[in-house]
Amino acid sequence: MAPSEQELHQQLSAVLPLGDDEVSQVLTQARSLPSGEASEYLSSLVGDSPEALRFISSFSESRSASANGEKAALAARDAASMPAAQHNPASTQTSYPADVKAPPVHDHHDEKRGLDGPPAYAPPPGNPPAGGNPPAFAPPSSAPPASATSRARARHHTNQVIEAGKVRARDEQEMQQQLQNLQYQYNIYNPEIEPEHETDYPCSCPIHQYQAAKYRRYGVQELWSKAVMYPGEKAYNDNKYSYGGVFSSNPYRMRVISPYGWGQTNWGGPLTPKAGWHEKSIHQTISLNNALNKEAQASVDSKEPRHSIWDDHALDRAMSNIALGEKKKPLAAPPPVDNRDARDEKARLENRESLAPPSNGASNDRPKTSKLASFRKSMGIKSSDERAVSKVEKQVGHGNALRDQIVAEENGRWPDAEWQQIVLTYQDKVGMTKKIAELRARSPIQYLHLLRAGYFEPIPVAWANQASNPLKFSIESAAGWRGITPAWRGYEDTAEERLYWVLNHRENPEGATLTRLKPDFISELEMARARMAKAVPPPPTYFDAADTCHTQHTSEGYSAQVPPAPFRAYDRPEQASDDTMILLDVSGSMDFQPVRPVYDRYLITRYERGTQPKNKDVAKAIIRRFTDAMTNHDHSNTGYDLVTFSNRSEYIGTVNHENLDRMWQKVHIGGGTRVMTGWQKVKELHFQKHSESATYHPIYGWQAGPQTPILRMLLLLDGEATDMDEFELDILSLSWAHITIFLIGVEGCPHHHRHANELQRISDVNHHVSFVDAQGNTPERFVTHELLKRHLGYDMSYQEFEGIEELPAYTA
């Protein structure tokens, strides 16, 4: 009798420590796969223990019984309906006149996936120009036209990384937010430090509640570790109560000191991190990260197949290199020169030949058989020759299995020619074609791991609006939350890990591959302080009494500014067909009183207020100056699309010098900083304007065509977005977008300069991205001039800037 659903649920719960919902999801996913893939999927999750094998067997038995039942039901239904079908085969079809096109057949799968087009949104209320004519463009509320929609089908492929990611994504954002709230509550401002209680006895305090929530996630962590670990690696976590104590497999437990030090007491309350211990902890963590990364990379490199898995004759070639039978004797050294006469030499040779045993016609070259050979054979002990052959066969067999897994994963991820072309174009634009081909040929284990994680294809468009996706998972080396690559330790999250993997393996335009190592925590802070020290007073020619810092009288004079990098023209200059848009950060910090951190070595002890305008006021002033100058440059009063973003995005409308104040009333400040939500909205607006030259893919979104106009976007930020690495990854492969970033910062803030250094590195790598920053009391004319140079793509002189920054006089 086939096992019931409840019995399967219990068996899986026994071998996979997950909650009821997660167990149900695993069973549902397994049933959606073909029989072979389902067994492989379950094996990758539960392992090969006796209990796991019994569960897989029970699952297969239940699946077979269910399939037989469905076949019987279908046969009965077909038999009942057979007479009607034979009588009128076309009775269920509707006829249409020749000049009327029949509607498409409805696909029930489309309701589930919802991927026929980009998310629809209502057109915002516009302000028609004089004369009552509608605006030239309003965002359509429907899906893209049929001519723009790709014919590629939705992807139903899955693997262990995708499934583990789905389970982890359920509470990943919740846990990250809970930790941040806890840190703020106990005045801990370094994101790498978790609050600790003096006693390990559990109580109802927020710290122990958070720790209990972490313990409940260890099943999810184990599932994730199994999905992303390389051969030979062992999973670990930070559970101090786990079996093993000091002999735990966690390498950080006894080799990295706590930032709280030793012997600290606080009468049962939360402990306070100490600057000295924290500094020592940071140094030890960095050193251990580097050592473990080096070991992990060397380990997986050594486990790569020694024979090409793509060579069908690999086994024959390997066997030909094995010397079977008796070991070959080394060649004898040539005899020394003998000066005796020929007769003595002949006599010596004849005498040596007479010592040879008489020949009986049999060959004496046969190797002698050991007396123990038959005994070893009877006991099942292999000879050295048999062991060599078995080893080679095993290696080649493992390579063939690896090849089959790679081919199946590629065919599942990229199921048709259009899909494959998008992926190949992405790899070429990013500059990874050569590296990916090399990995596939020579490092198939690593290739398969990265392939399963989606490293070789564009970012799915659906991830932009998800609170948690596989590029938002935190990486915690000391806690055992792993990344994707072998050298994953030291990265903050999976997006940063993938970004630096791409940067370190892509080719630059000159053809060479440049290694860009991620700066560690100490290096980042030291470089930020070094950049901050380069600030100088802005040029006096840009002074304007109308600047926000002067009208609000926050403090006297401009703040010193770090000179922007010299302008270099890479893309062609702006043309009339180019599309200019503005993307504005409206997170809660835009309306805060600006503050900067106070450090004790590497530990933030408090924040203090700065004396400068709020960031939202500076942003509005820059947008006003930018749109005024662009209006004069374009000789047009139409305006430019403004999109805002925080936790979600919103299309404000088309802004110009006449309606900016009225449009600004629609701008709502508050929430987090997720730039991908706004970036996705900007792409939708741009491509829906120019849909005739582009296509929409169900997974990867809009794809520009050769005739698609260039998008020129001004992005205004007041800090680092939570998904900034994801944004940088996405724009790295785009040649149809030119982005100019303006970063607003607090005077004397190392965090601002750390982010500025990162944006400058991205600008150096991706020439389609330009960058300008300002801190404190901002010289707005100076900033606007630098932004216009980069946005328009040419070195605009100061005289030309003066000519376009003022609007022409109004004429009736």
> What are the tens digits of pLDDT across the range 512-570?
556 667 899 999 999 999 999 999 999 999 999 999 999 998 889 999 999 999 998 88
Tell me, what's the pLDDT at 2? Answer: 73
Q: What's the rounded Cα separation, in Å, for the pair 786 and 144?
A: 37
CA-closest candidate to residue 682, choices 736, 628, 718: 736
Q: What's the rounded Cα separation, in Å, for the pair 784 and 772?
A: 10
- 8 or 368, greater pLDDT: 8
Rounded to the nearest angstrom, the gap between the alpha carbon of residue 798 and the centroid of all alpha carbons in its chain is 42
Indicate the pairing of strand 640-645 with strand 649-655. Answer: antiparallel
Facing residues of 607 across strands? 597
Q: Give the model's confidence band at 67: pLDDT under 50 very low, under 70 low, under 90 confident, else very high.
A: low
Q: What's the rounded Cα separation, in Å, for the pair 326 and 208?
A: 69
CB 166 within 8 A of CB 250: no
Task: Mark which of 35, 58, 80 sits at the end of a domain.
Answer: 80
Non-local (6+) Cβ contacts of 215 within 8 A are 239
Residue 298 lies in a domain: no
CB 756 within 8 A of CB 728: no
Q: What's the rounded Cα separation, in Å, for the pair 778 and 780?
A: 6
Residue 711 lies in a domain: yes
Indicate the pairing of strand 737-745 with strand 694-697. Answer: unpaired
Q: What's the rounded Cα separation, in Å, for the pair 551 and 547?
A: 6
Tell me, what's the pLDDT at 358? Answer: 45
Whether pLDDT at 133 is above 70: no
Whether pLDDT at 112 is above 60: no
Q: Give the model's confidence band at 316: pLDDT under 50 very low, under 70 low, under 90 confident, else very high.
A: low
Angle between helices 160-185 and 218-228 (to 10 degrees): 130
CA-closest candidate to residue 473, choices 502, 444, 448, 453: 453
The pTM is what? 0.76
First vs last C-alpha separation in the chain: 91
Residue 781 lies in a domain: yes
Rounded to the nearest angstrom, the gap between the alpha carbon of residue 225 and the centroid of all alpha carbons in its chain is 17
Whether pLDDT at 752 is above 50: yes
Tens digits of residue pLDDT in 761-784: 889 888 899 999 999 999 999 999
Q: To which H or E segment does residue 460 belong?
A: none
- 789 or 7, greater pLDDT: 789
Query: What average pLDDT does this structure show over 103-117?
Result: 34
Break the chain down into helix, strand, coil percent, rounded to 5: 45, 10, 45
**AA letter at 316:** D
Residue 233 lies in a domain: no
Whether pLDDT at 201 is above 50: yes
Which of 39-48, 360-369, 376-385, 681-690 is predicted most confidently?
A: 681-690
Which of 111-125, 196-210, 445-459, 503-517 is predicted most confidently?
A: 445-459
CB 273 within 8 A of CB 248: no
Q: Give the model's confidence band at 329: pLDDT under 50 very low, under 70 low, under 90 confident, else very high.
A: very low
Tens digits of residue pLDDT in 600-656: 999 999 999 999 999 999 999 999 999 999 999 998 889 999 999 999 999 999 999
Non-local (6+) Cβ contacts of 455 within 8 A are 484, 498, 501, 502
Residue 207 lies in a domain: no
Residue 201 DSSP code: S
Q: What's the rounded Cα separation, in Å, for the pair 408 and 538?
A: 59
**AA letter at 421:** Q
| 515-520-526-528 Cα dihedral, nearest 10 degrees | 70
Tell me, what's the pLDDT at 485? Answer: 98
Tens digits of residue pLDDT in 213-260: 999 999 999 999 999 999 999 999 998 776 545 557 899 999 999 999
CB 160 within 8 A of CB 45: yes
Tell me, what's the pLDDT at 350? Answer: 47
354-391: b or e for each residue (b if 16 or more CB lie within 10 Å)?
eeeeeeeeeeeeeeeeeeeeeeeeeeeeeeeeeebbee
Task: Extract the tokens encoding 158.
Answer: 């899955």
Backbone angles phi, psi at 703, to 5 degrees: -125, 120
Residue 317 lies in a domain: no
Report how many domains make up the chain: 2
CB 118 within 8 A of CB 696: yes
Tens digits of residue pLDDT in 398-413: 888 999 999 999 999 9
What is the CB neighbour count within 10 angstroms for residue 809?
5
Residue 538 lies in a domain: no
Whether pLDDT at 19 is above 90: no
Residue 621's alpha-carbon distances to 640, 660, 779, in angstroms, are: 15, 10, 11
Task: Mark which of 55, 80, 105 sits at the end of a domain.
Answer: 80
CB 741 within 8 A of CB 771: yes
Query: What average pLDDT does this structure show over 63-78?
Result: 59
Tell me, what's the pLDDT at 8? Answer: 81
Tell me, what's the pLDDT at 509? Answer: 61
What is the CB neighbour count within 10 angstroms for residue 539?
14
Tens digits of residue pLDDT in 499-522: 999 999 988 766 555 666 789 999
Q: What's the rounded Cα separation, in Å, for the pair 71 and 68?
A: 5
Query: What average pLDDT does this structure show over 80-95?
Result: 38
Tens digits of residue pLDDT in 432-473: 999 999 999 999 999 999 999 999 999 999 999 998 999 999
Whether pLDDT at 803 is above 80: yes
- Of 91-95, 416-420, 735-739, 772-776, which range is least confident? 91-95
Tell me, what's the pLDDT at 807? Answer: 66
Beta strands in 103-235 (DSSP E): none
Facing residues of 717 across strands? 743
Task: Mark which of 80, 97, 122 sits at the end of a domain.
Answer: 80
What percentage of the chain exceeds 70 in pLDDT? 73
Query: What average pLDDT does this structure show over 785-804?
Result: 96
641: domain CATH number? 3.40.50.410
Non-local (6+) Cβ contacts of 355 within 8 A are none
Residue ranges making up the domain that contains 781: 571-797
Tell me, what's the pLDDT at 55? Answer: 81
Residue 754 lies in a domain: yes
What is the pLDDT of the chain when averaged over all its residues? 81
CB 638 within 8 A of CB 136: yes
